[in-house]
């Protein structure tokens, strides 16, 4: 069914357009106007209108965007700091000085007793570039800890690693989103944009190929749906590359002129004949051939990956395999064709470019690169030797909390790991083991509810700042309303804490000042923002990085002439399929896969507080095939219990015939799904295997349903390389 981009009936059109800004949710960063009626006072009636000058949405918004202003209502958010008198005491209102003094004092004591790394920082992919930059600087200069990472590690870190090794640059879409509309064929691997970012569909042509184990809203609009077994996307890519080479679709002129390593990649897929790929993936050979033919004969074609391909313990190799296919077909670096990653979080791109990630410094510099350290240290006014080295990745950091060798305190900004992290019950236990948990947020999320100190912060439309959307376009969020009394921006919070820790200089709370410093720190790096200013963003409705000077036009298509590798060529990377970290067996005979639904975003901490969105999707559910439901004795709405090796959860059933027989699905916007998921990590990206784990499926209070004769249970060859 088509998804409306028009306002719900309850959203009245505004009398005037209001302040131009951007949506608080996904990486499209749809342009919108926020109008506050009389003045800009907090709590006044606010309305939202889409902007037509931002290409990503061009006048459309999804229901999350249309209702975004409801988050600004003081009745749904925190407006005073909270703290506990003791570990078992309830959270009570306190003054800002009391809250900040308590945090700074505990940080000093813990670091004096246990070392600098006793204090950790966990950031978010929704923070502005200014906040992400300042948070990374705060960790390394004020706290001098190596222990910082962010929830963007759970987003597109696998695609980032794969694109870096193939192209020498990680940018979600290395072309404007409007280029997609001109493609004759697009293959979307593990992405459900119809629900996660509906305006994206405006840019997708009629010939759409979808790779997904479920018949999602996106798959229902596709010309071809490849219903892959969870965890076998890599084998599918290998089989498709085999077909492309053996059936003459490989672009030999392009391969010779613009790539290196093709022969090794060719040899790596020699044994992945289509029939073998079918046995492993469940995708018929005819469908694979049709997909390759559609891509290989199109005048312009694109391959796009999403979280479904990336959130695996082999996510980097999976993305590399699809990049290999794109390179063999001659797509990257050609206008109107290419490979891209559909970034999820609002600032998932900028959030990792400027220092929140454990191994990175601003400008996408590596923290263990001496030249990069020297450049950033000079901007920060510190000795390079004072900067710590790489720290733990996101899940490894959460897993170490409160242990003898791990951090004793955690400062969380804009993240809700109690819901969003894999093996979530264990993560909650680690958070409870801390001596100090501090959360900066604008709602009392599940993580904030566990905190010792909660710091209420401003929201998206209450402050200025920049965001970098999935195209690599740097955009300006403008303040549209005055924040309520009692809240402070994350920049002000970081500034106040830094001052209490002895760093009174270098931590401005003014976003423009911070951005100008970010420009200097990023200069000369892969993600060079030196030529981007607030005025230029406003004038040009966004600037594509890299933009090394103010007279540089920006770089919407960085791969047209050459790839940013030492020799200017893209690199094939030979990879091979390997099994999921946890395959099905007699005790846990079904695959669980997780994802999002149209009404909600990420952990749901924001959207579950919007009545219209909560009414549209009030709770989690378990989607399962009708045959499995029949064997369980489950009807629509009946309770189903899922059990993995890490936990158990229950939710009402949704029954259909569009999901695979061997797979069940749960959305992750509520506590439950991630109690089950597997924290097995990709060896390169350290991405957890969110997208597949083995579960037992039961009717609540009933018996276990054994695999039936029609179930697509693993074949002998599944998961093996021989």
The confidence band for 579, taking pLDDT boundaries of 50, 70 and 90, is very high
> In the beta sheet, which residues pair with residue 455?
440
Give CATH 2.40.40.20 domain extents, the chain: 590-699
pLDDT of residue 35: 86
Show the DSSP H helices in 551-694 as ranges: 611-616, 626-632
Give CATH 3.40.50.740 domain extents, the chain: 82-154+347-544
Please tell me the CATH superfamily of domain 157-341, with its number: Dimethylsulfoxide Reductase, domain 2 (3.40.228.10)
Averaged pLDDT for residues 18-35 = 93
Instruction: Give CA–CA dist 704/558, Å, rounded.
Output: 53
**Of the candidates 433, 500, 448, which has an alpha carbon nearest to the alpha carbon of residue 78?**
448
Q: Does domain 82-154+347-544 have CATH number 3.40.225.10?
A: no
Residue 133 sits at φ, ψ, to 5 deg, of -60, -50
Q: What is the SS3 assignment for 237-254? A: HHHHHHHHHHCCCCCHHH
Q: Is the pLDDT of residue 702 over 60?
A: no
| DSSP conformational letter for 450 | G
Residue 430 sits at φ, ψ, to 5 deg, of -65, -40
Name the CATH architecture for the domain at 19-76.
Single Sheet (2.20)
Q: Does domain 590-699 have CATH number 2.40.40.20?
A: yes
Q: Residue 701 region, left (φ>0) first, then alpha (ψ -120 to 50), else beta?
A: left
Instruction: Give CA–CA dist 507/65, Å, rounded.
Output: 32
Instruction: Give CA–CA dist 243/238, Å, rounded.
Output: 9
pLDDT of residue 76: 80
Instruction: Give CA–CA dist 64/613, Å, rounded.
Output: 7
Give CATH 2.20.25.90 domain extents, the chain: 19-76
**Of the candidates 648, 48, 686, which has an alpha carbon nearest to the alpha carbon of residue 396?**
686
Instruction: Give CA–CA dist 319/189, Å, rounded.
Output: 9
Query: Of residues 399 and 43, which shows the higher confidence score?
Result: 399
Q: Is the pTM of this model over 0.85?
A: yes
Q: Is the pLDDT of residue 1 over 80?
A: no
Give yes or no for a contact between 630 and 467, defined as CB atoms under 8 angstroms apart: no
Residue 284 sits at φ, ψ, to 5 deg, of -60, 145
| DSSP conformational letter for 297 | H
Which residue do the tokens 């959130």 mark?
311
Q: Residue 326 in 3-state DSSP?
A: helix
- For the segment 450-503, what is each residue's pLDDT rounded down to a tens digit? 999 999 999 999 999 999 999 999 999 999 998 989 999 999 999 999 999 999
Q: What percent of the chain has pLDDT over 70?
A: 93
C-alpha distances in angstroms, 184 versus 201, 329, 337, 607? 14, 14, 9, 35
Among 14-28, 292-306, 382-396, the minimum mean pLDDT is found in 14-28
**What order do you get walking across the sheet with 338-341 strand by strand?**
224-226, 208-211, 185-189, 301-305, 338-341
Q: Residue 292 in 3-state DSSP?
A: helix
Instruction: Give CA–CA dist 686/683, Å, rounded.
Output: 6
Instruction: Give CA–CA dist 81/117, Å, rounded.
Output: 26
Largest distance between two CA atoms of the chain: 71
Averaged pLDDT for residues 349-362 = 92
Give CATH 3.40.228.10 domain extents, the chain: 157-341
Instruction: Give CA–CA dist 318/315, Å, rounded.
Output: 5
pLDDT of residue 719: 34
Q: Is the pLDDT of residue 718 over 70?
A: no
Instruction: Give CA–CA dist 627/633, Å, rounded.
Output: 10
């Amino acid at each position: 069914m088509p998804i409306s981009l028009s306002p719900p009936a309850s959203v009245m059109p505004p009398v005037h357009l209001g302040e131009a800004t951007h949506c608080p949710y996904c990486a499209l960063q749809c342009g919108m106007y926020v109008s506050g009626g009389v003045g800009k006072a907090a709590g006044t009636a606010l309305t939202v209108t889409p902007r037509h000058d931002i290409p990503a949405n061009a006048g459309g918004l999804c229901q999350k965007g249309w209702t975004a202003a409801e988050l600004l209502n003081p009745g749904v958010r925190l407006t005073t700091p909270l703290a506990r008198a003791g570990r078992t005491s309830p959270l009570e209102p306190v003054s800002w000085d009391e809250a900040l003094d308590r945090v700074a004092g505990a940080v000093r004591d813990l670091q004096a007793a246990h070392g600098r790394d006793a204090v950790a920082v966990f950031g978010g992919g929704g923070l502005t570039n200014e906040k992400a930059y300042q948070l990374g600087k705060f960790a390394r200069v004020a706290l001098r800890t190596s222990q910082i990472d962010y929830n963007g590690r759970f987003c597109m870190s696998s695609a980032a690693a794969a694109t870096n090794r193939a192209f020498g640059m990680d940018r979600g879409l290395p072309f404007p989103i409007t280029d997609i509309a001109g493609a004759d064929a697009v293959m979307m691997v593990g992405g459900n944009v119809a629900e996660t970012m509906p305006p994206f569909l405006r840019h997708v042509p009629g010939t759409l190929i979808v790779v997904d184990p479920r018949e999602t809203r996106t798959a229902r609009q596709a010309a071809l749906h490849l219903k892959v077994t969870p965890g076998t996307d890599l084998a599918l890519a290998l089989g498709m590359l085999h077909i492309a080479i053996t059936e003459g679709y490989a672009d030999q002129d392009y391969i010779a002129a613009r790539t290196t390593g093709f022969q090794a990649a060719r040899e790596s897929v020699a044994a992945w004949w289509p029939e073998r790929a079918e046995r492993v993936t469940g995708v018929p050979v005819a469908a694979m051939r049709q997909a390759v033919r559609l891509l290989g004969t199109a005048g312009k074609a694109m391959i796009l990956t999403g979280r479904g391909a990336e959130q695996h313990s082999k996510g980097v190799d999976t993305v590399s395999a699809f990049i290999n296919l794109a390179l063999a077909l001659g797509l990257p670096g050609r206008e109107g064709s290419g490979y891209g990653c559909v970034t999820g979080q609002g600032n998932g791109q900028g959030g990792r470019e400027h220092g929140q990630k454990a191994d990175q410094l601003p400008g996408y510099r590596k923290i263990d690169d001496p030249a990069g350290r020297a450049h950033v240290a000079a901007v920060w006014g510190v000795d390079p030797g004072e900067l710590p080295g790489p720290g733990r990745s996101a899940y490894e950091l959460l897993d170490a909390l409160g242990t003898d060798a791990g951090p004793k305190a955690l400062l969380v900004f804009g993240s809700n790991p109690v819901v969003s992290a894999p093996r979530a019950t264990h993560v909650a236990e680690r958070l409870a083991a801390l001596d100090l948990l501090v959360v900066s947020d604008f709602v009392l999320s599940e993580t904030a509810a566990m905190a010792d100190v909660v710091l209420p912060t401003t929201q998206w439309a209450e402050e200025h700042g920049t965001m970098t959307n999935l195209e690599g376009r740097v955009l300006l969020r403008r303040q549209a309303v005055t924040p309520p009394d009692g809240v402070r921006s994350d920049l002000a919070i970081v500034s106040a804490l830094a001052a209490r820790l002895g760093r009174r200089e270098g931590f401005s709370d003014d976003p423009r000042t911070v951005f100008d410093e970010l420009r200097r720190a990023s200069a000369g790096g892969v993600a060079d923002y030196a030529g981007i200013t607030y005025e230029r963003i406003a004038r040009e409705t966004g600037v594509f990085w890299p933009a090394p000077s103010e007279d540089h036009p920006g770089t919407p298509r960085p791969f047209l002439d050459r790839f940013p590798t030492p020799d200017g060529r893209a690199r094939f990377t030979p990879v091979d399929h390997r099994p999921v970290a946890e395959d099905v067996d007699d005790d846990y005979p079904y695959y669980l896969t997780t994802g999002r639904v149209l009404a909600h975003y990420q952990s749901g901490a924001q959207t579950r507080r919007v009545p219209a969105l909560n009414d549209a999707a009030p709770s989690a559910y378990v989607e399962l095939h009708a045959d499995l439901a029949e064997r369980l004795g489950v009807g629509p709405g009946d309770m189903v219990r899922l059990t993995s090796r890490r936990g158990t959860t229950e939710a009402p059933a949704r029954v259909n015939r569009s999901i695979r027989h061997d797979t069940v699905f749960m959305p992750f916007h509520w506590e439950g799904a991630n109690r089950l998921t597997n924290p097995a990590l990709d060896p390169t990206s350290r991405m957890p295997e969110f997208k597949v784990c083995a579960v037992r499926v039961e009717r609540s209070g009933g018996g276990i349903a054994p695999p039936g004769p029609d179930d697509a249970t693993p074949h002998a060859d599944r998961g093996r390389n021989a």
